[in-house]
Amino acid sequence: MRWGAEQGGGMIFHKHKVIALVGVLSMVATSAWAAAAETTASRVFAADSPSIVVVKAIDANDHALALGSGVVIAKGVVVSNCHVFTENGTESASVLYRNKRFPAKLRYADPDHDLCSLTVPGLGAPPVKMRGTNALEVGEDAYAIGAPEGFVLTLSSGIISSLP
pLDDT score for 38? 59
Containing structural domain, residue 39: 21-159
What's the structural domain count of the chain?
1
Helices (H) and strands (E) in the chain, counts: 2, 8
In a domain, 143, yes or no: yes
pLDDT at residue 86, as a whole number: 75
According to the model, what pLDDT value does residue 54 have?
94
Q: Determine the Cα–Cα distance for residues 90 and 51; give it in Å rounded to an integer.
A: 25
In a domain, 9, yes or no: no
Q: Is the residue at 87 inside a domain? A: yes
Q: What percent of the chain has pLDDT over 70?
A: 76
Summarised one tens digit per residue, pLDDT across range 4-46 is 444 333 333 322 222 334 444 444 444 454 455 557 899 999 9
| pTM of the model as a whole | 0.76
Q: What is the mean pLDDT of residues 109-116?
A: 91
Per-residue DSSP letters for 30-56?
HHHHHTSTT--HHHHHHHHGGGEEEEE
Query: For residue 11, is it within any domain?
Result: no
In a domain, 4, yes or no: no
CATH code, domain carrying 149 = 2.40.10.10
Is position 106 within any domain? yes
Q: Is residue 53 part of a domain?
A: yes
